[in-house]
Amino acid sequence: MNWDQVEGKWKQMKGSVKTKWGKLTDDDLDVINGQREKLVGKLQERYGHSREEAQKNADAWLKTLKQEKEASEKRSADDSHYAGKR
């Protein structure tokens, strides 16, 4: 998953963002609209992070999403594999 994909799936991702960064308002999420730079700016504004810290946090969140997606896909593949052996 990359930032273009986040932008394309932003409506589905809002819940994850809201859980991670509860200080972001619904209006903030509408403004961010999946764009990394806007997320970084809002993290700076709401949490007082430096630009570098906000960028690291945003990228760490994306990395976590990638890992969760890969783990989910692996579980699905494993489930399909085992279902075929029954």
pLDDT digits 0-9 by tens, 21-75: 999 999 999 999 999 999 999 999 999 999 999 999 999 999 999 998 889 888 8
- Residue whose structure tokens are 């509408």: 30
In terms of pLDDT, which residue wins out, 82 or 58? 58
The answer on pLDDT for 15 being more than 80 is yes
Q: Where are the domains of the chain?
A: 21-76
Residue 6: is it exposed, middle or buried by C-beta count within 10 angstroms (0-12/13-18/19+)? Answer: buried
pTM for the whole thing?
0.82
DSSP H/E element including 9:
none
Q: What is the mean pLDDT of residues 5-20?
A: 93
Q: What is the pLDDT of residue 86?
A: 57
CATH topology of domain 21-76: Protein Yjbj; Chain: A; (1.10.1470)
Amino acid at 26: D
